Amino acid sequence: MMRAQRGYTLVEIVIALLIGLFLLAGLFTIFSNTRRTSSQQTGLAQLQDEERIAMSLLNDVVQNAGYYNTNLYQSALTAWPASVADAASGTTLAPGQAVSGTHTSSTVPDTLVARYATTGLDNVINCSGSTSTLATNYVNTFFVTSSNVGGNTVYTLNCTPDGNGNHAVPLVVGVQNLQVWYGISTQPGTNNVDTYKTADLMSAANWANVTSVRVTLTFVNPMYSPATPTQQPQYVYFTRVIALQGRTGVVATAL
């Protein structure tokens, strides 16, 4: 006599489906977390690279401010006897002035200008990272711009080696703010920095007395999420103090 065949009951099928859905949900969560972690690590690595590039260029350029061929010129005034209008920053460098800039507020990006003269044989780079085989006067200007890309605001640190904004080169994306303080000495006969001032507080005598420059770059944090604002800060700040080699007794050379 044939025995009746018995299949799965509806309850057993439902339980199996629930177990399957639970396992799939777990796999999806693991996949989502792994993808988010990978994206954050990539963003962090990119942020570190951008910070390194930006600070390296700023350091290499600013430290050479005031550099000129001492075999040809006796002083900065003889090297740069005329004033120069810098259109990219909106400032005018006085005769002999090597450093300049602008400051509006802590929320509006500053501009930073560093002037020096290369001989064509010293391999001193300009702010775009290139060199010239000819004797060249550089008026390197750093500034931040913003643009709309796909509905998002993109901030970029730019530079122009000749003060002409039309010749600007984008350096690093993600720099939202550039703040600059100029280190000077208030004691006569010494280059020891005891005061830092923003550009709007600098006098003509102060500009001729700049020994170091303190730069702070504000980057957009790639790991910040508006949905969880307390987990990561929205911005990351990097600060560096750059000594002017001509003022600290060191001969300017390309790094």
3-state secondary structure labels for all residues of 146-215: EEEECCEEEEEEEEECECCHHHCEEEEECEEEEEEEEEECCCCCCCCCCEEECHHHCCHHHHCCEEEEEE
CA dihedral 166, 170, 175, 181 (to 10 degrees): -60
Residue 184 · residue 207 · CB < 8 Å:
no
The better pLDDT of the pair 32, 226 is held by 226
Q: Is it the case that residue 253 has pLDDT exceeding 50?
A: no
Strands 169-173 and 235-243: unpaired
Strands 169-173 and 195-197: unpaired
Confidence of residue 71 (pLDDT cuts 50, 70, 90): confident
The whole-number average pLDDT for the span 53-81 is 91
Confidence of residue 254 (pLDDT cuts 50, 70, 90): very low
Domain containing residue 80: 38-243
Phi, psi values for residue 163, rounded to 5°: 80, 5
In a domain, 249, yes or no: no
The lowest-confidence range among 7-16, 102-111, 176-185, 187-196 is 7-16
The whole-number average pLDDT for the span 14-29 is 81
In a domain, 115, yes or no: yes
The better pLDDT of the pair 8, 117 is held by 117
Which of 50, 44, 45 minimizes the C-alpha distance to 170?
50
In a domain, 5, yes or no: no
Instruction: Supply 80's token pair.
Output: 């740069």
Q: For residue range 113-169, what is the model confidence (pLDDT) as tens digits?
A: 999 999 888 888 999 888 888 889 999 999 999 988 888 888 999 999 999 989 999
Rounded-to-integer distance, Cα 159 and Cα 131, Å? 15
Rounded-to-integer distance, Cα 144 and Cα 159, Å? 9
Look up the pTM and report it: 0.80
Number of structural domains (the chain) is 1
The whole-number average pLDDT for the span 186-207 is 90
In a domain, 22, yes or no: no
Q: For residue range 197-245, what is the model confidence (pLDDT) as tens digits?
A: 999 999 999 999 999 999 999 998 877 778 887 778 889 999 999 999 8
Percent of the chain at pLDDT above 70? 88
